[in-house]
Structure 1
Amino acid sequence: MTTQKTFSDFGIELRSNSGEEDTTCPQCSDTRKNKRARCLSVNIDKGVWTCHHCGWSGGLGTGEQHRPTIVKTWRKPVYEINRTSLSDGAVKWFASRGITQEVLIRNRVAVCSVYFPQLEDRANAVAFPYQRGNEVVNVKYRTQDKHFRMEAGAERVLYGLNDIGDTLIWVEGEMDKLSVEVAGYVSCVSVPDGAPTPNTKNYDSKFDFMAAPELDKAKTHIIAVDNDEPGVRLEEELLRRLGRDQCKVVRWSEGCKDANDVLKRHGAAILKECIEAASWVPVEGEHSVSEYRESMERLYRYGMPKGHSTGWECVDELYTVMPGEWTLVTGIPGHGKSEWLDALMIHLARLHGWNFAVFSPENQPTEYHLSKLAEKHVGKPFSQGPTARMSQREKDGAISFLDEHFTFLMPELPSVDGLIERLKSIVKRHGVRGVVLDPWNEIDHSRLAGLSETEYISQALSKLRAFTRAHGVHLWIIAHPTKLQKEANGQYPVPTPYDVAGSAHWRNKADNCIAVWRDITKQTSTVEIHVQKIRKKSVGRVGVVELAYDRLTGQYRAPFSAPHSAQPDWENDEIPD
């Protein structure tokens, strides 16, 4: 006799015994930022379910069904209100904030009654249409007491997308965009969701608008966001993605928070002066101390930046990850430098929401590399073997996680200049915060006639360092040491940056230097992380720390927390690089 399956057999948790209920999806909710989103619709009486996020569906009698590939589609809002006329009250309200009727008409701003979920009722609101060409793709509604909502299921694009020109001004709200236009500047956009709150860990999804092809028109960017802590964070993210060498920043008049604040208090002429006084962001070269006055004030107010945790407390005592720096990682082949760096990326993605661009030709095919990353994420083997492997659900969750956080580079002729140009585009579109080049010798290093290898390495590392600083990413370069001589016991010594093939510039130009090493004369899983250089004391200090490597999962743990399982014979068994 066949026993009827229940919803719990499929991992579906319900509070009711009949009717319809929305709940979390056991297939995808654990992998998403909002793990409590009730995306799974269940008809309890009919015994069927469908996930509106990942497409998982099924029934108690039929079992799980296929998971179709989800193609993102956007709902188009209906925006048919007459935009050429506003009530006298609305015109007066905008006028009190310095916004002219001419600007309102050009931007098709209207007033209407609309439902607000947070009020659980309809309310009169200002409607700001978001346009692409002649089409309205979204609408933001704002009540007089600052309740906001946008159209559900509609695409979030920049407000002012049609107005982008060679020089583009970035602001934080629709009122600021209109204020800048009153001051005479039409080429201005506002981000759709405002600035990220200071405690937001991962806000990369809030920057999907950076993929807009219209942004390619802009050659110079003027960042004119709010003068508060969220505005500081938004400014830094825009500078990082757009490139500091293409950006100017605006500082508002004393006591003013944003563009509309300046317009209300001082008028259009003063607002125009603030924008015209925008200064280039210091990157490299000769600069006066006065250029750093504002940034020093922010450091004083909000504190010196610190490196991000690696996920290993014992490693954090010596090394943390600072945006805008680069780390040299070296080690004897088979000692696990690439494996350790993969584990570090997984930690940074999970703990801090980091996204990565990875150039790793030695880890081909990419499916092989993904299987190793999945093992580190799940903590179970990917392949069948004597130890229980990850389940189908765990595998699917790991792939979703990796898809969210990793982009792989596979150019046919990967030169340093070519990689940098590709990476600039990826940072802009995907908000990448970490870049891995593994290894250095797989990059095409053709150099001009008469340029020595030492001179070439110096120039190449300077270009990469400038890229990391301009875009606020952390770069790891894995570089092999030259052939080392074994010691009397058959062991290789711990390599240093000076042992890396090519030049002493590896030691001199790197912000941080790390060597991954293990004692092959001992049958042990212990791997030593030698931190050999730290440029900034807020990042860490020189020293050595031990981690235990779990060959079954590719994970690294502090030795005291390593699982007590049988270890393989390490004498002739390398850790995969």
Structure 2
Amino acid sequence: MSDDSTLLSKGPCADCGSSDACATYDDGHSYCFSCGAYTHGDGTKGDGATRVPSELIRGTYRDLGKRGITEATCKLWGYSVADHEGRKVQAATYCNALGEPVAQKVRTADKDFFVLGSLKEAGLYGQHLWRSGGKKVLITEGEIDALSVSQAQANRWPVVSVPNGAQGAKKSLASQMEWLKTFAEIVLWFDNDEPGRAAAEECASILPLGKVKIITTPHGLKDANDLLREHGAPAVLDATWSGRAYRPDGVVAGEDLTVERLKAKAAPGWQTPYPLLNEKTRGIRPRQLWLLTAGTGVGKSTDAREWLYAALVGGKKVGAVFLEESVEDTAKYLIALDNNLLAEDLEDDPSILSDAKWAASHAKLFGRGNYQAYDHFGATDSDGLLNKIEYMALNGAELIFLDHLTIAATGLDLDGTDKLMVGLRALIERTGCSVVAIAHIRKAQSGAKSAEEGAQISLDDIKGSGSLKQVPDVIVAKERDQQAEGPEKDESMLRVLKVRRGGKTGPADHLRYDTKTGRLKPFVPADTSGFDSPETDGNTDF
């Protein structure tokens, strides 16, 4: 079934005899929500549709007199009435992107609610009725309000409802962010009560700036359906144009900057596993972008996983976006770290860990709701990537690891890379998360010592647009001579290249990789001459 067509009407089905379950779309195809019969636009039969889940209620469509909703509107939206287990109920049918029914939110006469099917498979209520993109989409707090606004607009313009009311509105909109961003204007019309007003402000804060308007139901009424019943469709239609533009708080009067407010301590930074790095940077603070850079094969990803593991064990909510490996590989690396094993040994022979240890590590790392990973399927579209990172942050991730920016910027020119970096910076500010991203080093000039041979790294060595050194708050380089003899081959040094606020640049921790356990640990070297360079203070704010 096409997800690019628009529903025109519902009527009788020639296959099963239903009087009103067969939907006809503007590309000519039809689909029966009762028997699942699918007919292509050329009249040929197809089997491309899924039958209605058996647990869903098959009700009838009729006028909702007390609500002022017509039978035609109910039929379009799949809002039916029925007898269910001896009770009169109303059922709002939720569909997936293909328009297939997957769930119902059922309301009893006593205002009890329950769900049949799986709301996780559905989008916003009514989302399947509208194409992506357009001038405006209006979002309500409940299904009846969505029907009320749609009917007032002659059922012609995009209206949807969040499925779980005010308390779940932000999460519901975050999950459909890519679709919402295709509209030029996003209008929120939630209930005119404290939870509804708070939810509208909360939702507006995560939506694209400059696109959002918020409607307050006029005449002191609670919602769109109250307005429809008491003042009619013209009043509802007029209200759809009355939304105020959402502007985030930002302008602060001097008298509001009280001494107590100025004396408030800054949020503490998360402490990395490396003490000297923490001393120079004060840790990874909320709303910071860190960049970790090094030569090819020097160990950037190894550091990122070590930090990710430490954060996860320490109770941080984390997100893992590793674009050079699968989500399974990243998870196995973390389990290997938890058991002081080489990941490649664990991959070759999973039985080196007992079932009990597998289960214990899995529960410790992934069973507490603190871990999210992006299954990229090999795709690296920059806009899509930012949407997924933002979703992770809105879903609770405090610290997100992106390995690596060079892949994310593949195919982009310098302007495109700048846009990616600015977009990443903006979502960090919007969501309050922190991101640790990895970037590559430029190839050394002919005859010059390379980063892979332990050369000192500077900001100008970072590969790509200048925004990669200008946008981050902190930049850390890792230096290691891959061609060294003996144990020095597994030793490296961190060099702080940039700290936007209050830290120092210069050499930091020396690290040693344990080839038996796969762990990376700081150590105090007997001789640091190979990495010697002056420590610097001063302004590194780009």
Name the TM tier (shorter chain).
Answer: 0.5 to 0.7
The C-alpha deviation readout for 1:255-295, integer Å capped at 9, x for no partner, is: 888655776898755654554355778xxxxxxxxx54589
For residues 234-245 of structure 1, the aligned pairs below 5 Å read 234-237=203-206, 239=207, 244=208
> Percent same amino acid among aligned pairs?
18
Partner of 2:322: 358
Q: 2:417 aligns with which of 454, 461, 469?
A: 461
Give the superposition deviation at 1:140. 0.5
CA distance in structure 2 between the aligned counterparts of 1:437 and 1:322, rounded to whole angstroms? 19
1:380·1:390 contact (CA, 8 Å) conserved in 2? no
Give the superposition deviation at 1:347. 5.7
- SS of the residue 1:224 aligns to: strand
2:204·2:212 contact (CA, 8 Å) conserved in 1? no
Partner of 1:510: 472
2:308·2:401 contact (CA, 8 Å) conserved in 1? no
2:52·2:101 contact (CA, 8 Å) conserved in 1? no
Partner of 2:125: 159
Q: 1:169 aligns with which of 132, 138, 152?
A: 138
Amino acid in the other structure paired with 2:113: F
The C-alpha deviation readout for 1:510-530, integer Å capped at 9, x for no partner, is: 343223457999979997655
CA distance in structure 1 between the aligned counterparts of 2:231 and 2:489, rounded to whole angstroms? 71
CA distance in structure 2 between the aligned counterparts of 1:231 and 1:216, rounded to whole angstroms? 15
2:289·2:436 contact (CA, 8 Å) conserved in 1? yes
2:228·2:236 contact (CA, 8 Å) conserved in 1? yes
Question: Does the C-alpha gap of structure 1 residues 188 and 553 become closer, same or farther in structure 2, counting only changes over 3 Å?
Answer: farther
Question: Does the C-alpha gap of structure 1 residues 228 and 144 become closer, same or farther in structure 2, counting only changes over 3 Å?
Answer: farther
Give the superposition deviation at 1:444. 5.0
For residues 66-465 of structure 1, the aligned pairs below 5 Å read 75-84=53-62, 91-92=65-66, 94=67, 103-104=73-74, 106-112=76-82, 125-131=89-95, 136-143=101-108, 147-153=112-118, 155-165=121-131, 166=134, 167-184=136-153, 186-194=157-165, 210=176, 215=179, 219-220=183-184, 222-224=186-188, 226=190, 227-237=196-206, 239=207, 244=208, 247-252=211-216, 272-273=237-238, 275-277=240-242, 291-293=247-249, 309=270, 315=278, 318-320=282-284, 322=286, 326-331=289-294, 336-346=299-309, 351=315, 353-360=317-324, 371-376=332-337, 380-382=341-343, 383=345, 389-392=352-355, 405-408=373-376, 410=378, 419-423=381-385, 434=400, 436-438=402-404, 440=406, 456=414, 459-465=415-421
Partner of 1:48: none
CA distance in structure 2 between the aligned counterparts of 1:196 and 1:311, rounded to whole angstroms? 35
1:498 equivalenced with 2:460 (yes/no): yes
1:480 equivalenced with 2:441 (yes/no): yes
CA distance in structure 2 between the aligned counterparts of 1:496 and 1:553, rounded to whole angstroms? 31
Question: Does the C-alpha gap of structure 1 residues 130 and 335 become closer, same or farther in structure 2, counting only changes over 3 Å?
Answer: closer
Give the superposition deviation at 1:367. 7.5
CA distance in structure 1 between the aligned counterparts of 2:266 and 2:114, rounded to whole angstroms? 34
Partner of 1:53: none
CA distance in structure 1 between the aligned counterparts of 2:466 and 2:101, rounded to whole angstroms? 57
1:177·1:190 contact (CA, 8 Å) conserved in 2? yes
Structure 2 portions without partners, runs of 5+: 1-49, 191-195, 258-263, 531-542
CA distance in structure 1 between the aligned counterparts of 2:161 and 2:416, rounded to whole angstroms? 37
Amino acid in the other structure paired with 1:342: R
1:528·1:546 contact (CA, 8 Å) conserved in 2? yes
The C-alpha deviation readout for 1:184-226, integer Å capped at 9, x for no partner, is: 264112233345669x9xx6xx6897499xx599544515164
1:79·1:136 contact (CA, 8 Å) conserved in 2? no
Give the superposition deviation at 1:386. 13
Question: Does the C-alpha gap of structure 1 residues 168 and 113 become closer, same or farther in structure 2, counting only changes over 3 Å?
Answer: same
Question: Does the C-alpha gap of structure 1 residues 369 and 77 become closer, same or farther in structure 2, counting only changes over 3 Å?
Answer: closer
Task: Count residues with an aligned counterpart.
Answer: 429
2:91·2:106 contact (CA, 8 Å) conserved in 1? yes
Question: Does the C-alpha gap of structure 1 residues 467 and 491 become closer, same or farther in structure 2, counting only changes over 3 Å?
Answer: closer
Amino acid in the other structure paired with 2:418: S
1:514·1:533 contact (CA, 8 Å) conserved in 2? yes
CA distance in structure 1 between the aligned counterparts of 2:331 and 2:422, rounded to whole angstroms? 30
CA distance in structure 2 between the aligned counterparts of 1:491 and 1:222, rounded to whole angstroms? 52
1:109·1:127 contact (CA, 8 Å) conserved in 2? yes
For residues 36-55 of structure 1, the aligned pairs below 5 Å read none
CA distance in structure 2 between the aligned counterparts of 1:189 and 1:532, rounded to whole angstroms? 48
CA distance in structure 1 between the aligned counterparts of 2:58 and 2:265, rounded to whole angstroms? 51
2:81·2:91 contact (CA, 8 Å) conserved in 1? yes
CA distance in structure 1 between the aligned counterparts of 2:269 and 2:237, rounded to whole angstroms? 39
CA distance in structure 2 between the aligned counterparts of 1:159 and 1:195, rounded to whole angstroms? 14
Question: Does the C-alpha gap of structure 1 residues 321 and 83 become closer, same or farther in structure 2, counting only changes over 3 Å?
Answer: farther
Question: Does the C-alpha gap of structure 1 residues 435 and 271 become closer, same or farther in structure 2, counting only changes over 3 Å?
Answer: farther
CA distance in structure 2 between the aligned counterparts of 1:376 and 1:527, rounded to whole angstroms? 19
Comparing 419-428 with 165-174, greater Cα deviation is found at 419-428
Amino acid in the other structure paired with 1:84: R
Amino acid in the other structure paired with 2:105: K
Question: Does the C-alpha gap of structure 1 residues 293 and 571 become closer, same or farther in structure 2, counting only changes over 3 Å?
Answer: closer
TM-score by length of structure 1 reads: 0.54
CA distance in structure 1 between the aligned counterparts of 2:74 and 2:327, rounded to whole angstroms? 52
CA distance in structure 2 between the aligned counterparts of 1:310 and 1:231, rounded to whole angstroms? 35
Give the superposition deviation at 1:151. 0.7
TM-score by length of structure 2 reads: 0.57
Amino acid in the other structure paired with 2:214: V
1:156·1:209 contact (CA, 8 Å) conserved in 2? no
Give the superposition deviation at 1:160. 0.7
Give the superposition deviation at 1:138. 1.5
Question: Does the C-alpha gap of structure 1 residues 217 and 80 become closer, same or farther in structure 2, counting only changes over 3 Å?
Answer: farther
1:223·1:235 contact (CA, 8 Å) conserved in 2? no
CA distance in structure 1 between the aligned counterparts of 2:517 and 2:232, rounded to whole angstroms? 63
Partner of 2:11: none
Amino acid in the other structure paired with 1:407: D
Give the superposition deviation at 1:395. 5.2
- SS of the residue 1:407 aligns to: coil
Give the superposition deviation at 1:127. 2.3
Higher relative contact order (CA 8 A, sep 6+): 1
Structure 1 portions without partners, runs of 5+: 1-71, 116-121, 282-290, 412-417, 448-455, 561-566, 573-577
Amino acid in the other structure paired with 1:276: W
1:441·1:479 contact (CA, 8 Å) conserved in 2? no
1:172·1:225 contact (CA, 8 Å) conserved in 2? yes
Question: Does the C-alpha gap of structure 1 residues 471 and 508 become closer, same or farther in structure 2, counting only changes over 3 Å?
Answer: closer
Give the superposition deviation at 1:150. 0.5
CA distance in structure 1 between the aligned counterparts of 2:416 and 2:91, rounded to whole angstroms? 51
Give the superposition deviation at 1:128. 1.7
CA distance in structure 2 between the aligned counterparts of 1:294 and 1:545, rounded to whole angstroms? 37
1:327·1:513 contact (CA, 8 Å) conserved in 2? yes
